Amino acid sequence: MSDFRLGLVLGGGGMRGFAHIGALAALAERGWEPAEIVGTSIGALVGAAWATGFSLEESAALALSMRRKDLFQIAHADMAFKRMRSPALYRPEPLEEVVTGLLGDATFRDLPRRLVVATVEINSGTQAFFGLPGLDDVRVADAVYASCALPGFFPPREIGGRWWVDGALVDNLPVRLAAARGHDAVVGVDVGASSVLRADTQEAGFAGIFARATEIIFQQASEWHLKRWSGPPLLLVQPRVEHVPQFSFDHTRELIDEGQRATRLALAQAGDAVRAGRPGIHPHRKVLVQVNRERCIGCGVCVSMEPEQFRMDASGKAVGPEAPVEWSPVDGGFVRQCPTYAITARPVPAPAAAPSTAGESTGTGRGSA
């Protein structure tokens, strides 16, 4: 695929981002070598390992060796003496040691592969992508730390006299930046996983509640950006990692494997659509949308979100599309927004292959596949 420029975007999602390693492995199986990785938060860290020249085996071994204490150590002194003016819940030194140990003092210009790291300046709200021309003379380790510095959890990082934090504050999956870089196609790996229903978040304490809140905010922003996609073909990979807590280190092998499985599946379902340059977000699927009339309370949220697919009938109940509809991975957000869970969407099974007629020649000598 040397004549095919692929941009790979790795989003944030805490330790769920170890799934990115598996995604890279699945792409490598197909011979899909990224021309560039754009990373946010944990995606920036995994992307930096790739850009530095780490093999996938080395990246997986590093991920599997990491423990909570390697990154998350409570800033007891700051919280005791500064109280409400403490800059963050966790000390910066452990994260600094990890990224510096991985990347050293290399600048973006020193990297053997192209990397772009998404950050946000906390005072102005300015979004910046370190690694782009004019922003490539800084230490990669500083940019990666900044991209991982979720406000409230880690202190901001000073770069060039300004203070930078997690790029997910503006866009957790910056596929538009990748599109603007002139790639023929983009693959985005979304590990945000905020759409899943959770239980007892209100009992999880400050860190758990705040982490859940950021999940919701980041997901809504990502959906807004993706709904307006007009760039080159986009393969959107969404590993099933929603059951894993953001800061859990007990599922690393599972996450890597799931990233590989989900990427293989998305590639298979998309077929040749991405490589052939077909616009839109892939893979597509057909689903049957149904409204449970007993649960429907007639609030009209579905109609306000998707007026082309829903309407209210004479009895004040929602009515969905009668025939199966074709969805991309970003369609169907109204399902989880229904306050009574009255809407379901079920995949339509692919039609079974017609059986071959006994004795009929297929031209291959093997019969029907």
State the 10-residue block means of pLDDT for the chain, 369 residues long.
85 94 97 96 97 96 92 77 75 92 96 97 96 96 96 92 94 93 96 63 67 72 78 94 87 97 96 92 91 94 91 94 87 84 87 50 32
253 phi and psi, to 5 degrees?
Answer: -60, -40
Structure tokens, 148 = 């991982």
pTM: 0.84
Single-letter amino acid code for the residue at 196? V
CB atoms within 10 A of CB 116: 27
Burial group, residue 192, by CB count within 10 angstroms (0-12, 13-18, 19+): buried
- pLDDT in the model for residue 361: 34
Q: Which helix (H) or strand (E) holds 326?
A: strand 325-327
**Cα separation, 140 vs 347, whole angstroms:** 43
- pLDDT in the model for residue 208: 67
**Cα separation, 231 vs 225, whole angstroms:** 11
How do beta strands 127-130 and 114-121 pair?
antiparallel
Yes or no: say if 7 and 179 are a contact pair by the CB < 8 Å rule: yes
**Cα separation, 361 vs 225, whole angstroms:** 51
User: How many CA atoms within 13 Å lie on the side-chain side of 275?
Assistant: 14
Contacts of 283 (CB under 8 A, 6+ apart): 235, 266, 269, 270, 271, 273, 328, 329
User: How many CA atoms within 13 Å lie on the side-chain side of 218?
Assistant: 26
Longest dimension (CA), the chain: 86
- C-alpha distances in angstroms, 281 versus 1, 176, 252? 21, 12, 28
Q: Which helix (H) or strand (E) holds 51?
A: helix 42-52
Torsion 90-96-97-98 (CA) sign: positive
Radius of gyration of the chain (CA): 23
